[in-house]
Structure 1
Amino acid sequence: MSKEGIEGAAQKHIGEAKEGVGKAIGDNKLVADGLGDRAAGAAKETFGKAKDAVHKATD
């Protein structure tokens, strides 16, 4: 897996944690931050997967 894919997956999980904690303590800003991190992480992870696919196709 590419560096981007790993970073994206990590960011997505951090976002999920932030969202969960924010919901648990009633902090809407933390929930929003978590949702943003999840979306950004998912995009980065998808980019990493696409990059891997291109790399495999050109080998």
Structure 2
Amino acid sequence: MSTEDRLEATAKNIEGKAQEAAGEITGDKQDQAEGQAKQAEASAQHAVENAKDKVKSAID
């Protein structure tokens, strides 16, 4: 996983956590859901990049 991709996924995860927390504080269910979706997207991005790393390691 490239450093740039890792940072992008981590930033999206942090953004999602912050948005979810803000939604919890304000009672905004849509913000909570959007924050959770961003976290899920970041998790999926990490999984894809980890799979790429495993394939690359197997080839090398």
TM-score of the pair, normalised by structure 2: 0.80
Q: Which has the higher contact order (CA 8 A, sep 6+)?
A: 1
Number of the residue aligned with 1:32? 33
- Give 5+ residue unaligned stretches, structure 1: none
Q: Where does the alignment leave 5 or more consecutive residues of structure 2 unmatched? A: none
Report the alpha carbon displacement of residue 8 of structure 1 after superposing the two structures with TM: 2.2
Alignment coverage as a number of residue pairs = 59
Q: 1:51, CA displacement in angstroms?
A: 0.7
Question: Which 4+ runs in 1 deviate beyond 2 A?
Answer: 1-10
State the TM-score, normalizing by the size of structure 1: 0.81
2:47 corresponds in structure 1 to 46
RMSD: 1.5
Superposition deviation, residue 9 in structure 1: 2.5
